[in-house]
Amino acid sequence: MSVPDPVIWLVIVVLGLGTFALRFCFLGLLADRPLPAGARRLLRYTAVGVFPGLVAPAVLSPAATGGAFDPARAIAALVALALGIVTRQVLPAILGGGGALYLMLWLLG
């Protein structure tokens, strides 16, 4: 099935306007006002909620192994999780998890 070019461009423009409208609601309309304390508290959990959702598919069903479970990636994820809990910082967790992944891939072949 082929979609005509004008329809594709219409979808791109509408999605772009929708994205702009969502961001403008927060950045344009609320930029000069302080956020309520409850909203600020909830926004602190955004990274905690998004990051695992991005990482979990790469750990549980990685494309590099055709969707099969890979112990090297699971160990690297556990190392990153442990470092994140101990240091309470993102950068050491990412660097430690990346280092553990490369080390485990080298050790396990």
- For residue range 77-98, list pLDDT tens digits in order: 999 999 999 999 989 999 999 9
pLDDT (0 to 100) of residue 20: 94
Angstrom distances, CA of residue 95 to CA of 5, 21, 55, 61, 102: 44, 36, 14, 21, 11
To the nearest 10°, the Cα dihedral for 58, 51, 23, 30?
Answer: 180
What is the spatial distance between Cα 58 and Cα 33, in angstroms, rounded to a whole number? Answer: 39
Where the chain has pLDDT below 50, the residues are none
